[in-house]
Amino acid sequence: MRVAFVNRMLGIRRSGGGMWDYRMAEQLRERGVDVTFYVAEPLTGELTEDLSPFECVPVPTPHLQDIAYAAPRGIGGVLADIDARVFASRVHAKLVDEAFDVVQYNTNREFARYTDRVDAPTVLKLNGPPYSLYRDVLNPFTESSYDVLEAFDAVVTTGATTEAVRERSGVEPVEINPGVDTDQFTPGARPVDGPRFLFVGRFVPAKNLTTLVDAFATVRDRCPDAELTLVGDGPLRDKVAERVRENELDAAVTLPGYVPNEDIPEYYRDATAFVLASSHESFGIVLLEAMSAGIPVVAPAIDAIPRIVDDGENGLLVEPDSASRWPTRWSGWPRRRTCVNGWVKAVDRRPRASSSGTSAVRNCWNSTSRSANGSVPHRPSRRFSPTSSSNPRWPNRATRYRRRRFGET
């Protein structure tokens, strides 16, 4: 059996959604499935992520994502849409002559226009609610990001995205939440001295890292010996470093930059608590990693986080005053006593969180495995000629979508 995983960023920068794809590929490989990755190759450089032992097909792309993050919101959205469309077009040009049994796309809804030209069932995996500035804002007369989900044979979702897709589209998604390797992320054998807080993730706007630094500055007022390590990289790294300097935290905050996957568990073992300040988190693999490593987490009570964090047991939740106003209230969040107390209390909860956190991770993954088992029936691939009227196109759902959207017969 041959499966294609299309993930634009996986060869450039690690992310939760990308690592989810990679872990799924590892499990499929153990079951004898041949997995090939199609990833973006920046025109300005080579791939930086090692995807061995899998075959990797690089697809040249402008890679405008970092520029989109740094640009004003409207301009950034346009650049992101252009990037997605160019990548989808170039991947399709490579896929059309290949014989795969299943093709799985990561996040990019622009593949909806090509699904019926690929001779295999197609799956779209959503790491978050679908959104396109062009489809959802600039052009109200076109189909929305939720409407185009009908072009795929199956839509795989995680966490809070599942409810969003059910409510706003005619598609019944398959919820498959990611898991972590509990043999890799294990509690540290030695005690940790002092309050050491940890963040692991991308340096992008949704992670609210400048707010996290501001919150840590407030925590330092109560715990002068507290330390914070921000593991990761991204387009906002310089902005975060500048905020550290503005708060005069150079001696207390460490930014190690990019860290290979095999070295990340050691950072968890050296921490007393994991902290997160995201404005949106559909699931949050890093929360499972922290709990598997036996450290409590401090995180906002948004999206799927309350489904993962048992407040007072394996972590502490910071309740927003109003979920609808949460994005505009971040400026006041670092000064709230609930937040500061949460950081401080988390330091004393590591022994208690070790057993409850590991148990929560295993329960979450066992539940996911049971719900995913048999949820996507196997449908054999059929070769076809796109120009032959006597040979039915695959898949039927995509054909109906294209006929309605583009007026094809």
Domain of 158, CATH number, reads 3.40.50.2000
The yes-or-no verdict on residue 302 having pLDDT over 80 is yes
> Is the predicted pLDDT of residue 380 greater than 70, yes or no?
no
Question: 316 lies in a domain?
Answer: yes
Are 350 and 320 contained in the same domain? yes
Residues 302 and 384 in one domain: no
pLDDT, tens only, 47-88: 667 788 999 999 988 766 666 666 666 666 677 778 888 889
Q: What is the mean pLDDT of the chain?
A: 76
What lies within 8 Å, CB to CB, of 296 at 6+ separation is 273, 274, 290, 314, 315, 316, 346, 349, 350, 352, 353, 357
In DSSP terms, 273 is beta-bridged to 197
Q: Which domain holds residue 100?
A: 2-176+375-406
**3-state SS, residue 35:** strand
Does residue 28 sit in the same domain as residue 171? yes
Tell whether 401 and 265 lie within a shared domain: no
Of the listed ranges 109-118, 189-198, 289-298, the one predicted with least confidence:
189-198
Buried b (16+ CB within 10 A) or exposed e, 224-261: eebbbbbbbbbbbbeebbebbeebebeebbbbeeeeee
Burial class (CB in 10 A: 0-12, 13-18, 19+), 310: middle
Does 22 fall in a domain?
Answer: yes
Asked whether residue 132 falls in the same domain as residue 269, the answer is no
Structure tokens at 241: 């470093």
- The first and second tokens of residue 387, run together, are 């120009």
Q: What is the pTM of this model?
A: 0.71
Q: Is residue 115 located within the same domain as residue 222?
A: no
385, 389, 395, 397: CA torsion to nearest 10: 150
Spatial distance between the Cα atoms of 281 and 251, rounded to a whole number of angstroms: 30
Q: Same domain for 166 and 18?
A: yes
**223 and 117 within one domain:** no
Which sign, positive or negative, has the C-alpha torsion 276, 277, 278, 283?
Answer: positive
Q: How far is CA 162 from CA 129, 131, 154, 169, 387, in A?
A: 8, 14, 13, 11, 36
> CA-to-CA distance for 187 and 354, rounded, in angstroms?
7
In a domain, 14, yes or no: yes
Flag whether 59 is in a domain: yes
For the chain, helix, strand, coil in percent to 5 are 45, 15, 40
The pair of three-digit structure tokens given for residue 105, joined into one six-digit string: 């796309």
Tens-digit pLDDT profile for residues 99-135: 999 999 998 878 888 888 888 999 999 988 887 666 6
Per-residue pLDDT band at 193 (split at 50, 70, 90):
confident
Q: Does 302 lie in the same domain as 250?
A: yes
In a domain, 123, yes or no: yes
Beta-carbon count within 10 A of 319 CB: 14
Tokens for 177, please give them.
Answer: 């939440």
Report DSSP state, residue 261.
Answer: G
Nearest to 60 by CA among 99, 8, 22, 98: 8
**Residue 356 and residue 236 share a domain:** yes
Low-confidence winner among 202-206, 249-253, 390-394 (lowest mean pLDDT) = 390-394
What span, in angstroms and rounded, lies between the C-alpha atoms of 220 and 215? Answer: 9
CB proximity list for 196: less than 8 A, separation 6 or greater: 226, 227, 228, 229, 270, 271, 272, 273
| DSSP letter string, 111-150 | GGGTGGGSSS-EEEE-SS----HIIIII-TTSPPTTGGGG
> Do the domain assignments include residue 191?
no
Q: Report how far Cα 265 is from the mean position of its chain's Cα atoms.
A: 19
The answer to whether position 135 is within a domain reads yes
Q: Are 160 and 220 found together in one domain? A: no
Indicate whether 61 and 200 sit together in one domain: no
Q: Does the residue 209 lie in any domain?
A: yes
pLDDT band at 314 (very low <50, low <70, confident <90, very high): confident
Number of domains making up the chain = 2
Per-residue pLDDT of 148-165, as tens digits, reads 899 999 999 988 889 889
Most confident residue range from 229-233, 235-239, 379-383: 229-233
Residue 198 pLDDT: 96
